[in-house]
Amino acid sequence: MLDMDGTLLDLAYDNYMWREHIPAEYARRNSMGEAEAREMLSAKFRSLEGKLQWYCLDHWSEVLDLDVKALHRRENARICFLPGARDFLQVAQKHDVRVLLVTNSHRDTLEIKTEVTGIADFFDAVYTSHEMGHAKEDQPFWHALYEAEGFDRETTLFIDDNPIVLESARTFGISMLLNVTRPDTRWPAREHRDFPAIESVASLLSQEPNPPALTNLELLIGAD
């Protein structure tokens, strides 16, 4: 199970959208300074952080009176894979292992990101928190996913860049967890000590170029 933003795709895009582009657009529309708009919006965002609404483009379009989906599409040239993530997915796809995208992303951003990167096509199934009715931070999400997918908590590996989400997965009983520590390439790796850490999923690929293999991942989940 793989998270999308900050695990496979560079979080630089999302950080740019929510911290810079959307506040700048909001400031322009409401004739206010950009710094003031950034401060105001960041308080609004913080109040819902980690909740399903926080991830919801429709919610923010309504609250901010902006077409947030159109703004995302206009800046879609900034969407990209994290270094090595595309290679990782290509190799994972060739292995006899079920690969799932498990994301808090809203369907509109997933759609735009798939248009640009083709990311959804790498997976056997895609699960979004909006479909499940709960964010990954909350236990009901995992119960709903378990209902839908029937995965084995002992043999499933889940990779995410968000420690709160990883904690939620651990509470549900998923034992193999990995924390991506460099979700945004514009910033250095973060320090987290609660979970086994990798800077990027590319580090799960064997260093042997031929044939590419998931040596480290095989050790973890026994894939072949």
By CB under 5 A, the residues from 80 to 119 that bind Mg ion are none
Compute φ and ψ for 54, nearest 5 degrees.
-60, -35
Q: Using the rule CB under 5 A, give the single segment among 2-10, 81-89, 107-115, 190-198 that binds Mg ion.
A: 2-10
DSSP for 20-67 reads IIHHHHHHHHTT--HHHHHHHHHHHHHHTTTSGGGG-HHHHHHHHTS-
Distances (CA, A) of 173 to 130, 155, 158: 22, 11, 11
* Residue selected from 161, 163, 166, 184 as contacting Mg ion according to rule CB under 5 A: 161
Quick one: 3 or 137, whose CB is closer to Mg ion?
3
5 near Mg ion, rule: CB under 5 A? yes
Q: Which 6-35 residues touch Mg ion, going by CB under 5 A?
A: 6
Figure out which of the listed residues 3, 10, 25, 184 binds Mg ion, where binding follows CB under 5 A: 3
Q: Does 137 bind Mg ion (CB under 5 A)?
A: no
Give the interface size with Mg ion as a residue count (CB under 5 A).
Answer: 4
- What is d(CA 224, CA 218) in angstroms, rounded to the nearest whole number? 7
Binding site for Mg ion (CB under 5 A): 3, 5-6, 161
